[in-house]
Structure 1
């Protein structure tokens, strides 16, 4: 009798597949807005009381953490996105799961490319279904210098 180890991808349930499909659709929509310089559209993906947690890891010393809480702070984060359209963004979603029927957790890497250099920025999102849309409750993004 042989034993076989299955990867997480091989044992995904239909519910997990639906979560991955939705996560890819949502994150792809965000990267398209970024490419178009649509800061207002990016900010509109968030609940009014949402937050962005930005963790920066330096080569030495402890990481620094910035919190951007609430609609005004989040709109400010995205107000200059037009200046960043020189970067090519793609999302590599590693994990997505419905923790409740109206709450989706997504994690992966944001790949930010300029010329031949690509940075991999780990992210985690929690989204909540609000009406017909999935709004971001919290985004945690890890940056490294």
Structure 2
């Protein structure tokens, strides 16, 4: 099942790279271009607000039972490391580690691409600003696949890329 999801994610990312999302002539660049973008903005805005509460369990609950985070880290020395967290318990532990040092934050997601690849599957690409209250806040690229389960859009797969200086 994970191989099917990975293949679907790869196909979606390839599609993202070949599909332009520029607004049509006369279209307001600040308004969502379509239903997928509007949904992605809503979901990621809610996600950032939830992240700001630093509640690891609540964050994990936004993932499917087998949801995963794949984090690629590249250090200033050029070395790369990949970390994987699969399933809600591991996702919760990951967020728990992130939230070990509570602080006041105001995060924000910037949606750069969104596409409904099926009525119940949404692909989102963007950048996560970890804390807009700090001028040197990390801006972290992300790619999400969300699936609709009942009335909830849950994260099936999240890929995060962190480049350290």
TM-score by length of 1: 0.85
Q: Give the Cα separation in 2 of the matches to 1:97 and 1:68.
A: 25
Cα distance, 1:85–1:18 mapped onto 2, change above 3 Å: farther
Query: Shift of residue 118 of structure 1?
Result: 2.4
Q: Give the Cα separation in 2 of the matches to 1:136 and 1:24.
A: 14
Aligned to 1:66: 83
Question: Which range moved further: 128-137 or 30-39?
Answer: 30-39
Is 1:95 aligned to residue 109 of structure 2?
Answer: no
Q: Is the 8 A contact 1:45 1:135 kept in 2?
A: yes
Among candidates 115, 122, 126, match of residue 108 of structure 1: 126
Query: Shift of residue 7 of structure 1?
Result: 6.4
TM-score by length of 2: 0.75
Rg: which structure is higher? 1
Which ranges of structure 1 fall in alignment gaps of 5 or more residues?
1-5
Cα distance, 1:9–1:49 mapped onto 2, change above 3 Å: same
Q: Give the Cα separation in 1 of the matches to 2:100 and 2:54.
A: 4
Q: Is the 8 A contact 1:126 1:137 kept in 2?
A: yes
Is 1:10 aligned to residue 29 of structure 2?
Answer: no
Q: Give the Cα separation in 2 of the matches to 1:7 and 1:38.
A: 34
Alignment RMSD, CA only? 2.3
Is 1:131 aligned to residue 150 of structure 2?
Answer: yes
What number of residue pairs does the alignment pair up?
A: 138
Is 1:46 aligned to residue 63 of structure 2?
Answer: yes
